[in-house]
Each structure stands twice: as structure tokens, then as C-alpha cells.
């Protein structure tokens, strides 16, 4: 910054006016014995200018100097001051006979330095003032930088502590997780060994292997029918399963069990045995197996009946047409049922034509009627008839 800025700006002068210690740094400043003021001559000596130049400056900026405390002593005030100087042994002749005395305090001396254009000393004062200010600014900035850094450092330190705490917490969690993982591993090992044991267990082998499962089902079937000896259980089952399926196995099979598993599967065996165990599949009055829930509950019974009727319509004997289940006692009539004794295979035409009429009456009106066919239907009815009173 140009030092002449101070000469031109009152605002800047006010800003710097308290820094009068600059005066002593630029040049030794001699004060009056009161240690506060100097005379016009003394200021002229300090700035190495003549008195008139000085007086012009003071006159031009009088209001500023008055505010600095510059004042001119006269009368009794002057007389008192002269007395004071006399007492301290420092009353020079030029003061002793002066009619008035202008006292200039340090602030005003500094202001003169700010205003004097042609004084080398004044120029040094201004330059010094601005440099000090700059230095101060830098110093203050540096100081605040350090303070900020310290604050940042403290914050970082706090964050560091916080992070350390978190790290410790995570570490703890990690440890307990590690322990849990180990526990789980141990559990898993135990489970594996239990599973191995289970695999070797008879029951598990049974359900894993259809052959074991088959044997188990046959035993349960046997116990249900009160047959305790194993050989008899298998023989009885072979016989009853053929009855249920409606087929006769070939003679001299080397392995009947394998034949059943291959041709019907373990699932059909299981459905049949479970049906008997739960009381859903029962014997008809003539000893044939019947599903009390009706032919629609299994895939066996209607197929069996169709075979019994040579895949022909039980009425008209046609076999080159679609064959559907026909209710002997028509649906919606009392005593009508889905149990297989009431079901015979018929073509759609006969089924529709008979509709809800009495079977025997309707059949006897048909051109294809025969006593043999009617007997066959009667035989079917009796073969599978179940007295439901026994199962209520």
C-alpha cells in the first residue's frame, strides 16, 4: 500500500492513530518533562521541517488535531505550565517569554507524520506504520491459522478416539461372531453325525429305499388283518392287491415284490395299504376291496370295472365309443352313490337315454337288452356292494 494513502484519507488516519509507538522506532522523540507533549519547535525538529510548514498542516486539519488533544495554552493556564517547567528545572528562554504555547500530544505528532508530504521522517513513519500493520495482519492471520489448526487437530483427535472406540466395538463383535460361528460349526458337525446315524437307522433306510418301505407297508397291512407271520403277510398282500387292482398276476413269478414295484410302483401300494389302515378302503359284502369315498378318489376302480366289462358299454355292448361312468341308481336319487358297486361303464348315448329312469325298466325297453347283460350288472352290484350301516 502506498504510504501517501494516509496523507489523503482521514478514515485511514483514524484507523492508525493509536499506533504512536511507531514514532520512537523511526527516530528518537524528545518530550517535554510532562512526558506527554512536545512544542511546535520540537515537532519541527523531529520531522526536520520548518515551523511554518508545520503550522499550515495543523491549521488545515485543526479539527482532527483538537480531537487528538492538541491545545494552545494562554493566560493563567500558560502561567501554571511555565511554573511547572520552572520547578522541574526545564524552562527554556523561548518558552519563558512566549505569550502562548501550543502543546502537541503523541497522537497529534503521529497525525502530523501522516500529513507531512515533504518530510523524509514523516514518510518513514507512514511506511513503518503500514508495514507494521501488514506484519500485524500476517501475524494475526498466522495466529488464527494456528488456532484453527489446533481446533482441527483437536477435532481430528476426538474423531480418532471415536474411531478407536468403534474399532474396539467392531473387534468385540467380531470376536463374539467368531465364537458363534464356531458354535454353529460344532452344531453342524453334531447334526451331520446325527444324520449319519439316522441314515443307518432301519426306518430311514426303509423310506430311502422303496424295497424297505414296501416291506414296512406289508407288515402294517398284515397286522391290520391280524396276520402275524411274515410269509403269510406277503402272500396275503399279493392276493389282496390283485383283487384291488382287478388283475391276476402271471404264474411262477420269480419275485412278486419286484413285479409289483415295477408295474404299479410303491405309491400305489402305499395308497392301497393306507386306505385299508385308515378304514377308507373296505371289503364289500362279498369280500372285494371298495373305496368308501367313491371311484373318483382313486385311479384303480373305474379302470378295473371297464376291464370287467371288456371295455364295452354295459348296456349296448359297443366298444368303439367313449366309455364313461354310469350310475345304476341315477344321481340325485335316494340311495345313489359314487361307490363302485353303483358304477358301471356305459356309452354316452345309453347314459343320456337312461338319464334318471329305473335301470331295469329302461334296459328292458332297449333293442339290445338281454338277460345275460342284466345279470352281469346285478352281479357287479352284489360283488362290490357294501352295507354302509357298518361304517357309520
Q: Which residue, chain included where needed, has cell 497529534?
A: 108
**CB closer to Zn ion out of 244 and 309:** 309
Selected from 70, 129, 276, 316, the binder of Zn ion by CB under 5 A is 316
Hey, what's the cell of 92?
A: 527554556
Least gap, CB of 322 to Zn ion (angstroms): 10
x/- track of binding to Zn ion for residues 149-178 (CB under 5 A): ------------------------------
**CB closer to Zn ion out of 40 and 328:** 328
Q: Round to whole Å and give the CA distance between 183 and 325.
A: 63
Least gap, CB of 221 to Zn ion (angstroms): 38
Q: Round to whole Å and give the CA distance between 14 and 129.
A: 13
Least gap, CB of 314 to Zn ion (angstroms): 8
Q: At what angle do helices 40-47 and 51-60 cross, to 10 degrees?
A: 110
**CB closer to Zn ion out of 114 and 350:** 350
Hey, what's the cell of 208?
A: 430311502
**CB closer to Zn ion out of 226 and 367:** 367
Stretch that binds Zn ion, among 144-152, 206-214, 218-226, 314-322 (CB under 5 A): 314-322
**CB closer to Zn ion out of 244 and 315:** 315
Least gap, CB of 244 to Zn ion (angstroms): 27
Least gap, CB of 217 to Zn ion (angstroms): 40
**CB closer to Zn ion out of 316 and 340:** 316
Stretch that binds Zn ion, among 112-120, 148-156, 211-219, 307-315 (CB under 5 A): 307-315
**CB closer to Zn ion out of 41 and 308:** 308
Selected from 350, 359, 377, 386, the binder of Zn ion by CB under 5 A is 350
Which residues 6-65 are close enough to bind Zn ion by CB under 5 A?
none
Least gap, CB of 350 to Zn ion (angstroms): 3
**Complete edge-to-edge strand list for the sheet that includes strand 71-73:** 37-38, 101-105, 71-73
Least gap, CB of 219 to Zn ion (angstroms): 45
Stretch that binds Zn ion, among 36-44, 157-165, 273-281, 339-347 (CB under 5 A): 339-347
| 309 near Zn ion (CB under 5 A) | no
Q: Round to whole Å and give the CA distance between 359 and 328.
A: 6
Residue 18 DSSP one-character state: T
Look at strands 289-291 and 281-283 and give their pairing.
antiparallel
Residues paired with 291 in a beta bridge? 281
**Count of residues binding Zn ion (CB under 5 A)?**
5
93-98 long-range contacts (CB < 8 A, ≥24 apart) are 94/41, 95/39
Least gap, CB of 342 to Zn ion (angstroms): 17
Nearest to 296 by CA among 242, 338, 356: 338
Any idea how long the chain is?
392
Q: Round to whole Å and give the CA distance between 262 and 218.
A: 16
Least gap, CB of 336 to Zn ion (angstroms): 20
Q: Output the CA torsion sign for 15, 21, 25, 26.
A: positive
Least gap, CB of 309 to Zn ion (angstroms): 11
**CB closer to Zn ion out of 275 and 345:** 345
Give whole-number Cα distances, 255 to 72, 212, 324, 366, in Å.
Answer: 146, 15, 36, 49
**CB closer to Zn ion out of 14 and 365:** 365
Which residues 265-284 are close enough to bind Zn ion by CB under 5 A?
none
Q: Which residue, chain included where needed, has cell 407288515?
A: 219
Residue 249 DSSP one-character state: P
* Degrees to nearest 5, angle at CA 18 with 12 and 23: 100
Nearest to 60 by CA among 5, 14, 111: 111
Contact in structure between 231 and 245 (CB atoms under 8 Å): no
Q: Which residue, chain included where needed, has cell 520552572?
A: 86
Selected from 115, 273, 290, 313, the binder of Zn ion by CB under 5 A is 313
Least gap, CB of 296 to Zn ion (angstroms): 21
Stretch that binds Zn ion, among 138-146, 305-313, 354-362, 382-390 (CB under 5 A): 305-313
**CB closer to Zn ion out of 17 and 347:** 347
Binding site for Zn ion (CB under 5 A): 313, 315-316, 347, 350
Amino acid at each position: 500500500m502506498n504510504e501517501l494513502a494516509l496523507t489523503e484519507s482521514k478514515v485511514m488516519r483514524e484507523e492508525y492513530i493509536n499506533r504512536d509507538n511507531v514514532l520512537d522506532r523511526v527516530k528518537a522523540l524528545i518530550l517535554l518533562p510532562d512526558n506527554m507533549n512536545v512544542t511546535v519547535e520540537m515537532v519541527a525538529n523531529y520531522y526536520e521541517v520548518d515551523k511554518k510548514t508545520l503550522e499550515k498542516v495543523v491549521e488545515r486539519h485543526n479539527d482532527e488535531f483538537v480531537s487528538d488533544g492538541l491545545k494552545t495554552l494562554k493566560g493563567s493556564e500558560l502561567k501554571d505550565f511555565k511554573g511547572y517547567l520552572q520547578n522541574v528545572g526545564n524552562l527554556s528562554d523561548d518558552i519563558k517569554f512566549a505569550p502562548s504555547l501550543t502543546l502537541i500530544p503523541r497522537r497529534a505528532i503521529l497525525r502530523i507524520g501522516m500529513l507531512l508530504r515533504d518530510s523524509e521522517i514523516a514518510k518513514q513513519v507512514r511506511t513503518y506504520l503500514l508495514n507494521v500493520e501488514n506484519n500485524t495482519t500476517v501475524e494475526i492471520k498466522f495466529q488464527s491459522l494456528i488456532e484453527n489448526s489446533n481446533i482441527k487437530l483437536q477435532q481430528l483427535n476426538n474423531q480418532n478416539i471415536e474411531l478407536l472406540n468403534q474399532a474396539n466395538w467392531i473387534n468385540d463383535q467380531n470376536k463374539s461372531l467368531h465364537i458363534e460361528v464356531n458354535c454353529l460349526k460344532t452344531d453342524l458337525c453334531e447334526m451331520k453325525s446325527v444324520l449319519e446315524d439316522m441314515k443307518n437307522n432301519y426306518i430311514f433306510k426303509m423310506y430311502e429305499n422303496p424295497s424297505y418301505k414296501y416291506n414296512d407297508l406289508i407288515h402294517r397291512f398284515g397286522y391290520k388283518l391280524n396276520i402275524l407271520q411274515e410269509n403269510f403277510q406277503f402272500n396275503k398282500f399279493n392276493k389282496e392287491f390283485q383283487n384291488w387292482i382287478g388283475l391276476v398276476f402271471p404264474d411262477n413269478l420269480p419275485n412278486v415284490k419286484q413285479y409289483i414295484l415295477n408295474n404299479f410302483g410303491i405309491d400305489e401300494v402305499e395308497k392301497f395299504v393306507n386306505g385299508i389302515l385308515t378304514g377308507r378302503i373296505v371289503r364289500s359284502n362279498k369280500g372285494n376291496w371298495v373305496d368308501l369315498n367313491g371311484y373318483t378318489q382313486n385311479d384303480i376302480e373305474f379302470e378295473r370295472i371297464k376291464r370287467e366289462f371288456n371295455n364295452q358299454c354295459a348296456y349296448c355292448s359297443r366298444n368303439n365309443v367313449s366309455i364313461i361312468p354310469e350310475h345304476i341308481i341315477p344321481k340325485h336319487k335316494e340311495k345313489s352313490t359314487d361307490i363302485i358297486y353303483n358304477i358301471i361303464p356305459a356309452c354316452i348315448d345309453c347314459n343320456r337315454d337312461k338319464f334318471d329312469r329305473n335301470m331295469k325298466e329302461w334296459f328292458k325297453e332297449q333293442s339290445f337288452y338281454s338277460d345275460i347283460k342284466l345279470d352281469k350288472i346285478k352281479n357287479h352290484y352284489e360283488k362290490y356292494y357294501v352295507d354302509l350301516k357298518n361304517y357309520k
